[in-house]
Structure 1
Amino acid sequence: MPETALPGRRGQAARNDVVILDAARDVFLLDPKAPISAVAERAGVGISALYRRYPSKEFLLCRLCHDGLRRFISEAEASEVEPDGWAALTGFLGRVVEADVHSLTVHLAGTFTPTDEMGMDARRANELAAGLVDRARESGRLRRDAVTEDVGMILECCAAIRVEDPVRTSELRRRYLAMLVEGLESGDGPDLPGPPPRPGEMNGRWRPS
């Protein structure tokens, strides 16, 4: 009957969507200039099936990056229940690095035009990150010259680490995140060299080249 067949079709469509997005992430992290046909081939679906869901490569790139932004927001919101401000910030950093959210930022910035919804979510993400930084500073553990924008740069530094073996990539990222987090902690050392990133300074990367 139609009532039972429709949920089945929806379920299959949802499964296909996951497969397509996973394939797109793999393909475009290796080569942001790859054609959308490479995604269909990797996903094992017909190009027409892919285009029914994602009418253009730009649309697909936008979806990938927006999903990463939503994951960032989700992890930041989850950190709000942690009573210790320093633990909230460092736990958040660890989870976002493990989820590999910022590899998409590093590789795909400038390859599509962000939507208004992405802009709103980006502002929400920045507000949440600023809240985590403020709480870490109130705990007394965060160095006095660290700013919210440093958080994004630390995440991008970790995302830039990538070797052929995914397990080794994860190990190396955790190693260097630990070093970077130690540098965030307050101490008796000198101030950081140079001025920090200015608010919005990195936003220009998102304009299509």
Structure 2
Amino acid sequence: MPSSPAPLAGRRAQAARNDELILEAARAVFLDDPKAPIAAVAERAGVGISALYRRYAGKEDLLRRLCHDGLRRYVAEAEAAAAEPDGWRAFTGFLERIVDADVHSLTVHLAGTFTPTEEMGRDAVRSGQLTTELVERARAGGRLRADLVVQDVGLLLEGCAAIRVPDPERTRQLRRRHLALLLAGLAQPEPPLPGPPPAPGEFDWRWQRSE
């Protein structure tokens, strides 16, 4: 049986704890106010501003890390969904996990506040490919309505992320309820969706750095 990795000790352990505290604080602070100063993150995390700057060159670097972590989580969940043999369950289970992870709250609030890296661009392309595969599998199984496009998935997730109340558990419950209602509308048979569908790249403008 392989041995477990040795726990971090001393300064390395403290640095890892500080980084976790900083990221948790940054998520909370910037979801409330994307324009908040980076000092507000240090204060909420309970660390000195120097500890924060040792890890992140500035606010933009921290915002980029938060969004990239969310993108990586999205990719990991989509890859895990590929192992589910039932296409509809793979699709719906993926959406449930992404809604619970609250990935799209960061997308909505922080888009345009930093310059994405090339690695983020590659991960974004990968996320689109994986989402397309999930949609196509669900449609091939006859459960998903034929007129849904991949870009609809992003809008669906953003709609769930917009639901927020002070109690985190109640927020989760309400988002799951809303998602269940949306999924009921995605199953066959249903009347046609109104209007032209969102086009590929139609929302890319949001990721352009706003000055």
Q: How does 1:166-205 map to 2 (within 5 A)?
A: 166-187=168-189, 189-205=190-206
Say yes or no: does 1:78 pair with 2:80.
yes
The gaps in structure 2 that reach 5 residues or longer are: 1-7
**Which residue type is aligned with residue 13 of structure 2?**
G
Name which of 88, 109, 112 aligns with 2:111.
Answer: 109
Q: Take 2:94 and 2:191, find their aligned partners in 1: how far apart are those partners?
A: 26
Q: Secondary structure at the match of 2:114?
A: coil
Identity of aligned residues (%): 70
Q: Which residue pairs with 1:53 in the alignment?
A: 55
**Which residue type is aligned with residue 57 of structure 2?**
P
How far apart are 1:166 and its partner, in Å? 1.0
**Which residue type is aligned with residue 129 of structure 1?**
T
Q: Which residue pairs with 1:3 in the alignment?
A: none
Q: How does 1:1-209 map to 2 (within 5 A)?
A: 7-187=9-189, 189-209=190-210
Q: CA-to-partner distance for each residue in 1:120-177, whole Å, 9 max, x for gaps?
A: 0000000000000010011100001001111111111000111111111111100100
How far apart are 1:7 and its partner, in Å? 4.6
Q: Take 2:18 and 2:155, find their aligned partners in 1: how far apart are those partners?
A: 34
How far apart are 1:119 and its partner, in Å? 0.3
**Which residue type is aligned with residue 201 of structure 1?**
E
**Which residue type is aligned with residue 103 of structure 2?**
V
How far apart are 1:97 and its partner, in Å? 0.2
**Which residue type is aligned with residue 37 of structure 2?**
P
Q: CA-to-partner distance for each residue in 1:87-123, whole Å, 9 max, x for gaps?
A: 0000000000001111000111111111111000000
Q: Secondary structure at the match of 2:112?
A: coil
Aligned length: 204
Q: Take 1:159 and 1:145, find their aligned partners in 2: how far apart are those partners?
A: 23
**Which residue type is aligned with residue 81 of structure 2?**
S
**Which residue type is aligned with residue 134 of structure 1?**
E
Q: Secondary structure at the match of 2:191?
A: coil
Name the Cα RMSD after superposition. 1.2
How far apart are 1:183 and its partner, in Å? 1.0
Q: Under a length normalisation based on structure 1, what TM-score does the superposition of the two structures give?
A: 0.95
Q: Secondary structure at the match of 1:201?
A: coil
